[in-house]
Each structure stands twice: as C-alpha cells, then as structure tokens.
Structure 1
Amino acid sequence: MNTLGYKQYHHRHLPHIHTPGHTFLVTYRLADSIPVSVFRQYEAEKKWLEQKLQQVTKLTDSSKDEEPQAVREKWEESQRQWFFKLEEILDRAGTGPMWLQEKRLAKIVADNLHYHDQTAYHLHAYCIMSNHVHLVLTPFLNEAELQEGHNETGHLTFSSKYPSLSRIMHSLKSYTAKQCNKVLGRQGRFWSEESFDHTIRAGRFEKTINYVLQNPVKAGLVNDWQDWEWSYKQECTTGGPPV
C-alpha cells in the first residue's frame, strides 16, 4: 500500500500550493456523484480566479487595484461557498454511484487511511459516507525540512522526504480505486479527480472535527456520530493539531 514516493517538488506562486505544516480538511468523492453541469460551473469559476491570482501575484506595481492577498481571499471565499453547495448535493446522494455504502469498500478506504497515519501524516478524523469522504489530517511535510534545488530547466524547486498533500491524496485514491474496482468487478474511474481541501485556521480545529463527525447525523442516518461505523476521531484530537 505504500505508493507515496517520498521525493516531491513544490513550486512557488501556484494558487493550489499547500503550505507545509498546516492541517487540512479534505473532501473527496466518487466519480459522477455531482451533476456535470454544476461541476463545470464550479471549475470555470475556479479556473478564472486561479488565473487572476497568478496574474496579480506576478505584478510588482503597487498601484494596481487588486493586491494578491485580496484576490487570494476572494478565491478562498469562492472555494468555501462552492464547498457547502457541493456538500449539500453529495448529502442528498441523488446523482451517481453510492458504492461506499457497501461495507467491504468502506473498510478498504478506512484501512488505507490508517495505513499511512504516523508515516506520512497525522490522521485526526474522518467520515466515510455513501459517495464521499471527509478527512482531517496534518501532513508531516513542513517548511523546516524543505531543501531548495533547481530542476533541469533551472527553476527553483523544493524537495522533501515527506509527501505533499496532493501526493498523499493521489496515493489514497489510486490504491483504493484499484482495490474497490476489483471487489465490484469493474474498470474505470472510481473517484473524481478533484478533491476539495481547506486549510484549517487557528481556533477552528475542534469545530472542523465536529463538522466532519456530524455528517451522518446531519444526513439523518444516525442520532449520534459514534453510532456511524465509518467515523473516526483520534483519541488525543482535542484543542488543536500537533505542533
């Protein structure tokens, strides 16, 4: 199961870069679990804002109307709004497959999350629903151990023995897709390529954990989150992530 491949490169000034050392809420979903028309609208808005952020980040003229931070905040707010909209669609489970209702498949996903805990990341909490997964984790990748270098074209890169969040998610999804498809006797996409990730801000750690655990309660599946077989909370997860 260890397919992470620990040498990574992280480039500056990309809007999707994940700051090393932070804790994240990640939601990933089954393929075709959101209507294509809705997701195209989301991707179009996201692409426009990312291009805008790249443009203003490169500007050195301080007289410009929009500073990079203002555009980044607009991008983050758009992501938050879309997250809740898409979450509502996923909770209704009115579109696409619901393969994770099957215990064998949910167990494959849960076991894989625990497999990389304490080797690639701190696993704080997760909730596996019928068509999506909520995950709270802190990757071991941190700014202190990044090493600068240059690639073949001379561009600045950073290498690390620990995987980035994007690499972690790629590994989790690729392994479980293969194993779950084997159980289902099918081929093709299992997960959507897109994952939704949010940096958990200071003071919002416990609230985020609670949000994840309450997902099946909010969906009317159980009265107490502890009654949901596929919810997990690390015992020492209180007050905040490890420093």
Structure 2
Amino acid sequence: MRTLYVPNTPIHITYRLYGSIPNLPLQKLHSSRRLQRLRLEEQYPQVRRRADPQLREEYLEACRATEIDHYLNYDRMLDAAMTGPRYLRGSSAKRIVLDSWHHLARQHNLRIYAISVMDNHVHVLLENRSADQLVSLVELLRNHKKYTATQLNRLHGTRGRRVWAEKEYTRTVRRGGFEHVLWYVLNNPVKAGLTDEPLSWVGNWWADELYEAFILSRVA
C-alpha cells in the first residue's frame, strides 16, 4: 500500500530516474514478489490467520521480510545498472536535489535526517515534525520531482526531457531500526563501489544533530 502522508516517525524514501532500470528485469522483479506473496497466502490461509493471532503475526512478519528482500533486490539493480540515465552525476546536479529537499523541509516543517543522491536514484530519511499538520507525500514528491526535473534539464540543456520514474518505495522505520536505516542510506555510495568514505561523498547529507549519537562512533 502506498504511503499517503509523511508520518510523525522516520520514513525511508527511495526514488529513481526514469529508465534507470530496464522494463524486463523490473517486471521479473515485480513478478517474483507477487509469486512470493501468493505462496505466503497458501502457507497462511486467511481463515486460519483470523482464528490464530500468532499465525497472523508470523504471516505479517513473513510479508515484511518479503518486502524487504524485494526492495534490496530493487536497490541492487539500481547500483549495478551499467546503462541508463545518469542525470544526477556531478556536484551541481546533486546540489539541486539536496537544496530542493531542504526547501521542502522548511516549507512543510519536516525533519530530514539524511539524504544520499546517487547518479540514478535518491534515498531520503525524514519525518513530519508537526503533530497536527498532515503533509501529503504524494504532493511532496510531485512538487520535488517537478522542480528538480526543470532544474536538471536547465543544467543539461535538455528542455522537456522526462527525468523521474513515477513510483517510489517508502518504508516506515521500525522501532529500534533507525541507526541501521541511517547507515544504509549513507553507505549507499560505498556498496555501489563509488567511494570508500560515505561521509565525504558529494551526494550525502546528514543532520548535524545526528553526529554525536550516530556518526562519531563510526568515524572515531
């Protein structure tokens, strides 16, 4: 189910450039997830899940594991892509994406914890700071993509070029999992083989407030 609003707990968003993954491998990846879900439905029939809370929890945990496995395979495909657009390559392009997120954070009272701008996709870790103001994730991403597409096309002299893929992945960070997700985001260029030092990667940004609690221990 697509997340409609930015929650008051951390959420990890991943979105990519249009054409960054070829259609056939992407279709195979989605088909594999659907098959896994069908197998889980057979293994944990709905009638039995309703009658047995423990079985229902096992089913939900298996579904979460399937979704995580699907996402990790998706992210690996982006990191390993040998063809496709690289519109986000270079410090000027990455700065457009970073600046847009910081502008949106000020505008909508968001707390951004970390961003990693790769050459063909982006990771963002953020949450809604307001307890009484709903922030539409759909509108947020729509505005971000529209603005950054215009600026990237202006940077590259390619007016009207389609920049972003339509869909994104969103995952709410589970209790106790914040540090793991934070370093997953910041280590993205490391696992892609682009750098050995995530804190100096030109596309990485993290909130100053995280330094002592989560960053210093890794670099000390």
CA shift in 2, pair 1:79/1:110, >3 Å: same
CA shift in 2, pair 1:182/1:68, >3 Å: farther
How far did 1:46 drift?
6.0
CA shift in 2, pair 1:83/1:162, >3 Å: same
Q: Kindly, what percent of the aligned residue pairs are identical? A: 27
1:167 aligns with 2:156: no
CA distance in 2, matches of 1:203, 1:130: 30
Q: Which residue is equivalent to 2:122?
A: 133
| Uncovered stretches (5+) of structure 2, i.e. residues with no partner | 42-46, 215-220
Task: Kindly report which structure 2 residues correspond to 1:226-241, keeping only aligned pairs within 5 A, or say none.
Answer: 226-237=199-210
Question: Of the candidates 183, 207, 210, which is equivalent to residue 210 of structure 1?
Answer: 183
How far did 1:102 drift?
2.9
CA distance in 2, matches of 1:117, 1:24: 14
Aligned length: 204
Q: Which residue is equivalent to 1:6?
A: none
User: What one-letter code is carried by the residue in structure 1 that aligns with 2:154?
Assistant: K
Q: Which residue is equivalent to 2:81?
A: 93
Q: Which residue is equivalent to 2:66?
A: 78
How far did 1:43 drift?
4.0
Q: Which residue is equivalent to 1:105?
A: 93
1:24 aligns with 2:11: yes
Give TM-score scaled by structure 2 length: 0.77
How far did 1:27 drift?
0.9
1:182 aligns with 2:154: yes
Q: Is the 8 A contact 1:46 1:75 kept in 2?
A: no
Select between 70-79 and 93-102 the one with higher mean Cα deviation. 70-79
CA distance in 2, matches of 1:228, 1:197: 23
CA shift in 2, pair 1:46/1:189, >3 Å: farther
Q: Is the 8 A contact 1:24 1:200 kept in 2?
A: yes
Which structure: greater helix fraction?
2
Q: Is the 8 A contact 2:189 2:198 kept in 1?
A: yes
Q: Which residue is equivalent to 1:193?
A: 166
Select between 179-188 and 91-100 the one with higher mean Cα deviation. 179-188
CA distance in 2, matches of 1:74, 1:32: 31
Give TM-score scaled by structure 1 length: 0.71
Q: Is the 8 A contact 1:141 1:164 kept in 2?
A: no
Q: Is the 8 A contact 1:97 1:131 kept in 2?
A: yes
Select between 86-95 and 38-47 the one with higher mean Cα deviation. 38-47
RMSD, aligned α-carbons: 3.2
User: What one-letter code is carried by the residue in structure 2 that aligns with 1:37?
Assistant: L
CA shift in 2, pair 1:187/1:72, >3 Å: farther
| Uncovered stretches (5+) of structure 1, i.e. residues with no partner | 1-14, 54-58, 146-160
1:38 aligns with 2:44: no
Q: Which residue is equivalent to 2:113?
A: 124
Deviations 1:103-144 (A, max 9, x none): 3221111110111224321010011111111110002464xx
Task: Kindly report which structure 2 residues correspond to 1:58-73, keeping only aligned pairs within 5 A, or say none.
Answer: 62-63=50-51, 72-73=60-61
CA distance in 2, matches of 1:72, 1:189: 37
